[in-house]
């Protein structure tokens, strides 16, 4: 619990603060090296802490601002109090019980949380340059970093990651971290330190436990929107009510996913729109079985990609207008996709066989077209996989009557049998196709 009621409050004005603010300020900056006066105010707080309020205006900083345990650094609003850094960050190291709120930063001015606990970052906007690893950066170095909360924070046009968790050492755990109504827009889009720039990099090298990401938006990232690396351990991670769109702006993106997940991660009621890949699950070498429920992808290149995975569940979800593929399952086993809606995938909803070759329609039903290599655009592709179960609705845009979906398969089942991949359908309603 972070409590500041009744603590000392000091006010810092800058060169372009209002005359009234300058009159009651405890310290006055001159527009050059303003971090000096800010740091003096922080150091003037008593041992039990207090609050430093940065008044309206632009604070020009060329070194790091170092916070102390039990302190609050606040402004008058993200667009009203702005810290312009040419060098340095807002640095929280080996401290606890700190609040940063209601201000904006530019340049190198990341909020860097290093081996610190019980931190609240609220209503902060950051546009950082290539020197900042991430606008909002948690780092666990031989430590457990826990009880960190970001609320209504925005990373805008940052040159690397918007939000990132990272670490090194024997213990490198980020635990009990919450992202509520946060936004990362255009991470790495306009300039970048290297090609690896994402909106929310929730587990780069650090392990992640008890994490909630709720109501957040990732848009326009050079690589993935929401990104979780495969190697770290992930336990009890929930991403819910989030939107990821127009990510994978890099021409040859390694992932380019709306959501790249692995481990014990649940996606619930999330939306993916116009990403290179909507939902990308890669779980080789990592424990845990991701679950995707009540999610939707619209207009991505590939809606759902499951690669080198096992024991994955996708339920009550949908793919609409995928330009290349609705569902792709590669080198995976024991996959259950239930109550799924696949609509207008690759404009044709073709069902692909194990090598990605589309099944061709004839008077007798479907057959495999031989001697054609390469992956085709299709509705569902299953390659080198076992026990893949599908149930739901496959529909095109065409309809025979107004208001009636042009169904290709209603409540069908696709399965792959161990030892060989066999596609078969159990029908209740048939339209436009013959029995296989």
- Tell me phi and psi for residue 109, to 5 degrees: -75, 60
Q: What is the mean pLDDT of the chain?
A: 84
pLDDT tens digits, residue range 376-424?
466 888 888 888 888 888 876 543 333 333 333 323 334 332 222 333 3
Higher pLDDT among residues 432 and 18, named by residue:
18
pLDDT tens digits, residue range 93-131?
999 999 999 999 999 999 999 999 999 999 999 999 988
Q: Which residues contact 216 (CB under 8 A, 6 or more apart)?
A: 179, 180, 181, 182, 183, 184, 200, 226, 242, 243
DSSP string, 29-94: --SSSTHHHHHHHHHHS-TT-EEEEE-SEEEEESS-EE--TTEEEE-S-TTTEEEEESS--EEEES
Work out the pLDDT band at 196, boundaries 50, 70, 90.
confident
- Tell me phi and psi for residue 22, to 5 degrees: -65, -30
Q: What share of the chain is helix, strand, coil (3-state, %, to 5)?
A: 5, 55, 45
Q: What angle do CA 250, 255, 257 make, to 5 degrees?
A: 90
Q: Determine whether domain 63-430 maps to CATH 2.160.20.
A: yes
Which residues are bridge partners to 244 per DSSP? 218, 272
Average pLDDT over residues 74-88: 97
Work out the pLDDT band at 32, boundaries 50, 70, 90.
very high
Work out the pLDDT band at 427, boundaries 50, 70, 90.
very low
Whether 317 contacts 295, CB under 8 Å:
yes
Structure pTM?
0.86
C-alpha 435/C-alpha 425 separation (Å) is: 9
C-alpha 259/C-alpha 199 separation (Å) is: 10
Name residue, tokens 């690893």: 133
The whole-number pLDDT of residue 428 equals 27
Higher pLDDT among residues 292 and 345, named by residue:
292
The whole-number pLDDT of residue 375 equals 41
pLDDT at 33 over 80: yes
């Amino acid at each position: 619990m972070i409590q500041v009621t009744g603590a000392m409050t000091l006010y810092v004005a800058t060169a372009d603060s209002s005359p009234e603010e300058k009159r009651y300020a405890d310290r006055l900056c001159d527009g050059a090296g303003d971090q000096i006066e800010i740091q003096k105010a922080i150091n003037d707080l008593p041992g039990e802490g207090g609050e430093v309020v940065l008044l309206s205006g632009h604070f020009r900083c060329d070194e790091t601002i170092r916070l102390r345990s039990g302190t609050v650094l606040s402004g008058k609003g993200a667009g009203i109090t702005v810290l312009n850094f040419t060098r340095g960050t807002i640095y929280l190291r080996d401290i606890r019980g700190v609040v940063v709120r209601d201000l904006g930063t530019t340049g190198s001015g990341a909020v860097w949380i290093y081996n610190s606990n019980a931190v609240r970052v609220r209503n902060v906007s950051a546009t950082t340059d290539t020197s900042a690893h991430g606008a909002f950066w948690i780092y666990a170095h031989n430590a457990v970093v826990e009880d960190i909360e970001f609320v209504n924070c925005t990373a805008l046009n940052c040159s690397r990651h918007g939000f990132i968790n990272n670490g090194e050492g024997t213990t490198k755990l980020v635990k009990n971290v919450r992202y509520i109504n946060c936004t990362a827009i255009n991470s790495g889009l306009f300039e970048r330190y290297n090609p690896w720039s994402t909106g929310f990099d929730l587990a780069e090298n650090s392990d992640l436990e008890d994490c909630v990401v709720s109501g957040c938006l990732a848009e326009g990232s050079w690589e993935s929107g929401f990104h979780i690396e495969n190697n770290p351990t992930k336990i009890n991670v929930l991403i819910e009510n989030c939107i990821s769109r127009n990510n994978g702006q890099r021409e040859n993106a390694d992932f380019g996913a709306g959501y790249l997940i692995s481990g014990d991660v649940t996606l619930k009621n999330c939306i993916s729109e116009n990403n290179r890949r909507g939902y990308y699950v890669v779980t080789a070498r990592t424990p845990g079985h991701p679950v995707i429920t009540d999610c939707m992808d619209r207009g991505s290149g590939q809606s759902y990609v499951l690669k080198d995975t096992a024991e994955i569940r996708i339920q009550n979800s949908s793919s609409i207008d995928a330009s290349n593929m609705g569902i792709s399952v590669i080198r995976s086993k024991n996959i259950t996709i239930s109550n799924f809606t696949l609509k207008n995938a690759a404009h044709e909803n073709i069902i692909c066989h194990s090598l990605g070759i589309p099944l061709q329609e004839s008077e007798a039903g479907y057959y495999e077209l031989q001697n054609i290599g390469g992956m085709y655009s299709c509705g569902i592709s299953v390659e080198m996989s076992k026990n893949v179960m599908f149930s739901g609705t496959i529909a095109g845009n065409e309809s025979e009557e107004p208001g009636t979906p042009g169904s290709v398969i209603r409540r069908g089942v696709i399965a792959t049998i161990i030892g060989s991949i066999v596609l078969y359908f159990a029908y209740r309603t048939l339209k436009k196709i013959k029995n296989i």
